Amino acid sequence: MKITTNNRIILASESPRRKELFGRLGIPFEIQASGVSEDVEQELSPEEFTLAIATKKSDEVVQGNEDAIVIAADTTVYLGEKLLTKPVDSNQAKEFLQALSGQEHRVITGVSIQGAGISIGFTETTAVQFYELTEEQIDAYVASGDSLDKAGAYGIQTMGGMFVEKINGDYNNVVGLPLGRLFQTLLTLKVIQLEKEISE
């Protein structure tokens, strides 16, 4: 399946995981990360908060790039109503993983698409159930350093995936980008098109 676009596409993220996922579409795109803080003043629901951060990112990058389509995303992890951010240190990473042990949590990604007359956003939620974790497992994983740059202190696409008993929803959403939903949205907006490949 070949996908084409007539637009300049900017992915407003430095995340190697989002870059890899978006690259699966096979269309040219640029990386231009935003420098906005991931803080929002007002009280918002988890979904509203996550989308607000993504929108802040796209708002900044679209300035001066109004002719391009800017795609920004933010992924959050919620245990109940508690936000689990990227841990500040190993101790906090251990606290997060201890809290997640044996529990179901939500991974929410907000996606904002702006530019060329388009301004739209959506959120995707995946429920993730963890196995009961031992202190030995938590200590070994945290010692690897993998948990420190990831919301909720784990990466499902790395060894952190060994802690996951089951998920309900989009796996790619947990990695950092709900690629299927984004693909369908970009098709609907006519940002991308499917090109029929003629076999000889």
Residue 109 pLDDT exceeds 80? yes
Q: Which amino acid is at 86?
A: K
DSSP string for residues in the chain: -EEEESS-EEE----HHHHHHHHTT----EE------S---S---HHHHHHHHHHHHHHHHHTT-TTSEEEEEEEEEEETTEEE-S-SSHHHHHHHHHHHTT-EEEEEEEEEEEETTEEEEEEEEEEEEEPP--HHHHHHHHHTTTTTTSGGG--TTTGGGGGEEEEES-HHHHHT--HHHHHHHHHHTTSEEEEPPPP-
| Domains recognised in the chain with CATH numbers | 2-195 (3.90.950.10)
Residue from 39, 59, 67, 74 carrying the catalytic annotation? 74
Say how far apart CA 94 and CA 135 lie, in whole Å.
9
Question: Per-residue confidence at 1, pLDDT binned at 50, 70, 90?
Answer: confident
Mean pLDDT value of segment 53-57 = 95
Q: What is the pLDDT of residues 11-20, one digit of tens each?
A: 999 899 999 9
- Range list of β-strands (E), the chain: 2-5, 9-11, 30-31, 69-79, 82-84, 104-115, 118-130, 164-168, 192-195
Say how far apart CA 200 and CA 197 lie, in whole Å.
10
Indicate if 74 belongs to the active site: yes
Q: What is the pLDDT of residues 161-192, one digit of tens each?
A: 999 999 999 999 999 999 999 999 999 999 99
Q: Give the residues across from 77 on adjacent strands.
A: 84, 107
What pTM was estimated for this model as a whole? 0.92
Token code pair at residue 121: 């956003």
Q: How many residues does the chain have?
A: 200
Q: What is the pLDDT of residues 110-147, one digit of tens each?
A: 999 999 999 999 999 999 999 999 999 999 999 999 99
